[in-house]
Amino acid sequence: MGSVLPWDVYDEGGRLLLAKGHVIISSNQIDALIERGLFATADTKRDRDKVPPPAEEERPSAVALILEARRGLQGTCAPNAPKKNFPEQVMRMRRLIQDACRQSRDAALAMILLGHEERYSIRHSVDAAVTCHVVGTALDIQEPELSAIVAAALTMNISMLQFQDELQANPNPLTTGQREAIARHPQQSAEMLRQSGVTDETWIGAVLNHHEAMDGSGYPAHKKGDEIPLAARLVSMADIYCARVSGRDYRPSLRPNTALKALFLNQSGAMDKELAARFIKATGIYPSGTPVRLENGEIAVVTRQRDKANAPVVSSLIGPRGVPFAVPIERDTSRQQLYGIRDVVDWSEIGPVPSLRVLWGKEGVVN
């Protein structure tokens, strides 16, 4: 106890339990690692004499790719940033998001709920783009349309990013001038994209129409139903979902399952209900990164989606009596009586957000 782990420790499935450098603070941790952890040594002369294979270049993790996309968007959309090759710059961010989701769709989606360190307006745009990629892929939207939709999510608010950050920290009701500025931003953003060299009409149309509503109550043109392109409806839904699950300086975030339910049960008719159902199926009723309470009283985090939208794989962090586990324990929530999800909880019941590396292994590494 009190010593530093000299190795990364993994379980039988190769999942990281504790990272090298972690300090062992209790005998329970040691017992748990002996029972569940594995490490290998190479002491024989034969092993020592082996010529190691050439080291493969380590690829960035899914989390690192999402963070790189956020940094890239911040630079590309800065007020004084040169707009030369602007479409290509945005498509580079789109490819980072695509690569992140290919490597770990779950870690990429979890960043929407767990990765709240950066500037809100930029983070929100990337979060919506990740959501569009995941849902668009599930809808079997083909290229180049899918890339145009993701690019639209990245740039939907390009004309009001600074204003969006100011609103995020403002607890007061919107003024008439602020409401007018918000109403103008779809047209202004679409025009900025044209001036920056964007010619893809799916991209521009999704930005222009992402605040239209199925019942005609949206803006700027009060379009209805099928008058609104699917691309715009998907960007709109991702925009609303990501905004609701992200807290403001003046209000807490909605629980993910509550935000998703609101998309489907929208009473005004502003939402595409069929798209909302498919949206929820793609993200899961409990998206990755959601903290939950299990039927046996454990507190866990959703770490992996499966075909059954209401039965993801989770990692338990806290036991039924409120004592944290030495290492996360994977649970199968399809075993309803024991490990089924009872309800969604708030992070305040868990404490600090756990390390993404502990929960998602190498795909959760930040750098």
Domains annotated for the chain, with CATH where assigned, are: 9-44 (no CATH), 62-283 (1.10.3210.10), 291-364 (no CATH)
Is residue 326 within 8 A of residue 26, CB to CB? The reply is: yes
The confidence score (pLDDT) of residue 96 equals: 98
The confidence score (pLDDT) of residue 58 equals: 77
How far apart are the C-alpha atoms of 91 and 142, rounded to whole Å?
Answer: 16
3-state SS assignment for residue 196: coil
Reported pTM: 0.84
The confidence score (pLDDT) of residue 348 equals: 81
Residues of the chain with pLDDT under 70: 1-4, 12-14, 21-29, 37-57, 249-250, 267
Of 267, 273, 322, 266, residue with least CA distance to 293: 322
Alpha helices (H) in 53-199, listed in sequence order: 62-76, 86-114, 120-138, 145-155, 161-168, 176-195
For the chain, give the mean pLDDT. 89
End-to-end CA distance of the chain: 29
pLDDT in tens, 189-235: 999 999 999 999 999 999 999 999 999 999 999 999 999 999 999 99
**Rounded to whole angstroms, what are the CA distances from 254 to 104, 143, 240, 260?**
24, 33, 11, 10
The confidence score (pLDDT) of residue 45 equals: 46
Q: Please state the separation of Cα 288 from the chain's center in Å.
A: 8
The confidence score (pLDDT) of residue 266 equals: 80
The confidence score (pLDDT) of residue 47 equals: 47
